Amino acid sequence: MTETSTPLMRQYAAIKKEHPNALLFFRLGDFYEMFFEDAVVAARELQITLTSRNKEKGISVPMCGVPYHAAEGYIAKLIRKGFKVAVCEQVEDPRLAKKLVRREVTRVVTPGTAADSSLSSEENNFLGAVAQVGDRVGFAALDLSTGEFRATEFRGSDAGRRIEEELAQLRPKELLYASSAPLFEGSAGAAENSSAPGRKDGRSAHPSTGYAETALDDWVFAPDHAIPLVENHFGVMSLEGFGLAGKPAAASAAGAILHYARSTQRGTLDHVDRIGFYERQNCLVLDAVTVRNLELIEPLFAGADAGITLFRSMDATVTPMGKRLLRAWMLRPSIERAEIEARLDAVEAQVKNTVAREDLRRALEGILDLERLLSRVTLETANPRDILALAASLGRIPAVRIAVARLDAARHGALRV
């Protein structure tokens, strides 16, 4: 694009510079025209004729165009193929213009922000975003065509894998991420492969997952920017009402999506009026408010007798480890039928066999806190008494084994260690 001497082409070049990764639909009269590489790509993808414009000092500029009334269909086609399209309109009446009609990009259509009628109705068209805040990774997804908006967040070492699971489940058409944080190792490599030629022709679709990756500046994902943006959009004082309290990564991902959606669309996104925090669970979820309200482990009113908690009421364990496990089960009951039935079978077996049960509980009585003692040993803070305590506790195991052997139920079998 070295010869851009006519005012028109200079105007084109300036606008194109602002949208290097999108195919620029440049409005000329009744047509949208594309030039240079955009024209080559469009002609190929849309199966339309590639012509040229010979007005440049003998250098022919590749050009192709579509009539403006048919443009939506062509745009939709390109979007489905993973391209982004910047639509540049004439923003003043040509008859009134002095020399060159003023032009501006009024919207950018991306795979993730498509909301037109060509979308298939069975599936959502999600725009996704991934944000990282500290050790948390947040993921949010918005379907601009329906207004469905949701966000979740993970922590810990398998956060990356769980994000990938979300991506596989929701299958967004486009994914936003902070440019300084390449998505995941695998896709960063793939993006690099496709990016060199990809950036040139405006396409950046991830080959294996089929979503377009869009990098945005880091600050778009910063909580200080993203969270107020979301709060303002929904007109709320805080995001607690959406379940996003204490979930900065999820909220930041949501903010990035709103930022991007706003900057590429005309219109106000009013139909996006709610967002919900969701989590894929592996247990019956009891949040802190519920744990407190139901007085599971602590009384509701400070100073009340601890005996009114469910834990105290249900605690008939005899070892410290048992108490800890009971508490853990109570705060995170299972949601898997097989697991629950297995436990119930074991309890039932013990209910039916009182003698064996009592023997078992007696055998368990002298056992101290093996877990804590053991960690003192491995951390090298154990003293001789600890070790003897450990020995004593381990010594009671044979008795326990005998008692367990007299009980049926698969769970007991598995516990015969």
SS (H, E, C) 327-364: HHHHHCCECCHHHHHHHHHHHHHHHHCHHHHHHHHHHH
Q: Which is nearer to another protein, 14 or 285 (CB)?
A: 285
Nearest approach, Cβ of residue 253 and another protein (Å): 16
Question: How far is the C-alpha of 33 from the C-alpha of 64, rounded, in Å?
Answer: 6
Residue owning tokens 């209910």: 351
Q: Between 13 and 394, whose beta carbon lies closer to another protein?
A: 394
Cβ atoms 12, 101 nearer than 8 A: no
Q: How far apart are CA 130 and CA 222, in angstroms?
A: 12
Q: Is 210 left (phi over 0), alpha (psi -120 to 50) or beta?
A: left
CB of 248 to another protein, least distance (A): 16
The least CB distance from residue 392 to another protein, in Å, is 8
Q: Which single residue is written with the structure tokens 């909301």?
A: 115
CB-nearer residue toward another protein: 77 or 361: 361
Q: Give whichever of 180 and 301 is closer to another protein, judged by the CB atom.
A: 301
Rounded to a whole number of angstroms, the minimum distance from the CB of residue 236 to another protein is 8
Give the 3-state secondary structure of residue 67. Answer: strand
Q: Least distance from C-beta 414 to another protein, angstroms? A: 8
In terms of CB distance, is 70 or 284 closer to another protein? 284
Encoded amino acid at 358, one letter: E
CA dihedral 107, 113, 116, 119 (to 10 degrees): 150
Q: Cβ(223)–Cβ(248) under 8 Å?
A: yes
Nearer of residues 134 and 307 to another protein, judged by Cβ = 307
